A and B are shown apart, each in its own frame.
Chain A
Amino acid sequence: MIKVRIPTPLRPLTRGQGEVETKGGSVAEMIDHLEGMHPGLKARLCDEKGELRRFVNVYVNEEDIRFLKGKDTVLKDGDEVSIVPAIAGG
C-alpha cells in the first residue's frame, strides 16, 4: 500500500481527503491507479505527454522524483508519496 498526500487545491477531486491509499510499482502506475480512484487527478499532475507539470513536485518519502527516476521511480509497499505544488503567491 502506498500513502499519497494530496495538497489542498486537489482535494475537491478526492472528496476532501488529504491522504489516500493506493498502489503501483512505479510513480506512473501509482498516478494511473489514482486516476482510476479519483478521475481528473492525472490531468492536474501531468501534461498531455504524460510529463509532470511545471508547477508540481512529487516526492517519494523525502526525495523529489525529478532526482530519482522521474515517473519510473520504483515504489514499494509502505512508501509515502507527497504531491507538492510549487511555491506560489500573490
Chain B
Amino acid sequence: MLKIPQDILDAMVSHARELAPHECCGLLGGSDDLVTQLYRIKNVVALEGAETVTHFDESKVAHLQLLSPEERAEIAFVMDAHEQALALKDMRAKGIRLQAVYHSHPVSPARPSLTDIKNATEFDVIREKLNLPKPLYLIISLQDRVNPDLRVYTIQNHQAVSAEFRAV
C-alpha cells in the first residue's frame, strides 16, 4: 500500500487550491511504496490566462488540435514536458522511483475522467519501453471545498481500479 507523509498530502491540497479553478499536476517519488518527494509540475493549460504566457498558446493550440471535440472539452492538464523530464531525472539522481502522478479536479469528484484513463493507458504502453516504473494515479477533488477528497487508482488497459493509500 502506498504510504504518503501527511505534509506531502497537505502540500498537494495546497497546490490544488492555488491553481483552482485550473487543475494542478505533479509527480510523487519515493521507494518501497513510501513517498518521499513531491514535484510540482507546471500545467501548460492552466497558464493560458496568465499574462506572460503568450508563447505557450501556440503549443497548447497545436496539442488541442490533435484531440477530438469531446476530448478537448475534457482536457484540463498537460504537464510541461521539460519540468516533467527534470523531475524524472532528479528521481534518478536521488535513487528514488516514480510512485504516483497527481492532479486535481477543482469541481468534480476524485475519480479518473475518460481522458485520464485513455492517457494513462497510452502512457502505460510507452513507459514500459522507457524503463519507467508504473505509477499510481492520485486525484485531489476540491468539489467539497472544506474537505478535499484524495483518492488513488491504478490505471491500465482502459480500466481504473481504486487503490489504497495511507497517511504516515
Q: A57-B85, A64-B89 are in contact. Are A89 and B120 (CB under 8 A)?
A: yes
A53 to B80, CA, bound (A): 9
In the complex, per-residue mask of B72-83: 1 if CB is within 8 Å of any chain A CB, else 0: 001111111110
The answer to the question of A9 belonging to the interface, with a C-beta cut-off of 8 Å to chain B, is yes
Count A interface residues, CB 8 Å.
28
Q: What is the bound-complex CA distance between A8 and B125, given in angstroms?
A: 11
Question: Does the CB pair B76–A84 fall under 8 Å?
Answer: no
| Residues in A lying within 8 Å of B, measured CB to CB | 5, 7-10, 43-44, 47-48, 52-57, 59, 62, 64, 66-67, 82, 84-90
Interchain CB contact under 8 A, A66 and B85: yes
**Nearest CB to that of A84 among chain B residues?**
B126
- Chain A residue numbers with a CB within 8 Å of B146 are none
Distance in angstroms from A56 CB to nearest chain B CB is 6
Instruction: Give the distance in Å from the alpha carbon of A9 to the alpha carbon of B126 in the complex.
Output: 13
Distance (whole angstroms) from the CB of A88 to the closest CB of chain B: 4
Is B50 part of the contact surface with A, judged by Cβ < 8 Å? no
Digitize B54-65: 1 where CB-to-A-CB distance is under 8 Å, 0 elsewhere: 001011101100
Q: How far is the CA of A42 from the CA of B123 in the complex (A)?
A: 21
Query: Taking the complex as formed, is B130 at the interface, i.e. its CB lies under 8 A from any CB of chain A?
Result: yes
Q: Which of B7-15, B29-37, B108-116 is the interface stretch?
A: B108-116
Bound CA–CA A7/B63 (angstroms): 13
Task: Evaluate contact between B119 and A87: CB separation under 8 angstroms.
Answer: yes
Residue pairs across A and B with Cβ atoms less than 8 A apart, 24 shown, are A7-B126, A9-B67, A10-B66, A44-B62, A47-B59, A48-B58, A53-B59, A54-B59, A54-B81, A57-B81, A57-B84, A62-B131, A64-B88, A84-B130, A85-B119, A86-B79, A86-B80, A87-B101, A87-B123, A88-B75, A88-B119, A89-B113, A89-B120, A90-B75
